[in-house]
């Protein structure tokens, strides 16, 4: 029997653009569309480092405009043993994040099994890496946010299927 997924962590390097966007979108989907199905599922995000301590202004604007999520009080966080241990599923934006995670935290239980690239987990597209949108044009930034959004939407559907099959 597959274990229910209750804690999902989205990760990227700095926890300022992609992973906060993924967290916000997941929370909006839970609020607006899947209250019952995701009632017991918690979403969070973190990074390997956090220079800015908050989400990028472009990420906050994207979440507000497209998902009616106010992330003005978002505080970025760093990954640590305690945060990672409690996760059932860790979704990264790029393969290099997975490699770094598995190298840096190889001492943690099940880290190899519970960490996946977001777009691979969601079974979307050819290239599973979502590049860092920092310092790109607004059009490029929005394209990257759309990739994050698509990955989160499909991952949420998969999480719901897994959780329903493990009742």
Rounded-to-integer distance, Cα 123 and Cα 39, Å: 24
Helix %, strand %, coil % of the chain (to 5): 45, 10, 40
Q: In this structure, are strands 7-12 and 115-117 parallel, antiparallel, or unpaired?
A: unpaired
Range list of H helices, the chain: 18-32, 57-67, 81-85, 95-104, 111-114, 118-121, 138-165
Q: What angle do CA 9, 14, 70 make, to 5 degrees?
A: 70
Which of the residue ranges 24-33, 43-52, 80-89, 95-104 would you say has the lowest mean pLDDT?
43-52
Q: Which CATH superfamily is domain 7-165 in?
A: Response regulator (3.40.50.2300)
71-110 pLDDT, tens digit per residue, is 888 888 999 999 999 999 999 999 999 999 999 999 998 8
Q: What's the rounded Cα separation, in Å, for the pair 118 and 124?
A: 9
How much is the pLDDT for 167?
Answer: 67
pTM (2 decimals)?
Answer: 0.93
d(CA 109, CA 122): 23
Q: What is the DSSP letter of 61?
A: H
Question: Which DSSP letter does residue 78 get?
Answer: B
Contact 136, 144 (CB under 8 A): yes
């Amino acid at each position: 029997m597959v274990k229910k997924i209750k804690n999902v962590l989205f990760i990227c390097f700095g926890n300022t653009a992609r992973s906060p966007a993924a967290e916000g979108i997941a929370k909006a989907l839970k609020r607006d569309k899947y209250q019952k199905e995701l009632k017991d599922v918690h979403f969070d995000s973190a990074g390997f480092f956090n220079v800015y301590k908050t989400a990028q202004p472009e990420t906050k604007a994207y979440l507000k405009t497209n998902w009616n999520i106010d992330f003005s009080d978002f505080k970025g966080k760093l990954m640590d043993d305690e945060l990672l241990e409690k996760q059932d599923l860790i979704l990264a934006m790029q393969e290099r994040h997975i490699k770094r995670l598995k190298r840096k935290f190889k001492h943690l239980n099940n880290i190899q099994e519970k960490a996946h690239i977001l777009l691979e987990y969601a079974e979307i597209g050819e290239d599973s890496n979502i590049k860092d949108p920092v310092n790109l044009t607004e059009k490029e930034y929005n394209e990257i946010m759309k990739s994050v959004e698509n990955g989160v939407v499909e991952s949420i559907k998969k999480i719901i299927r897994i959780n329903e099959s493990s009742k």
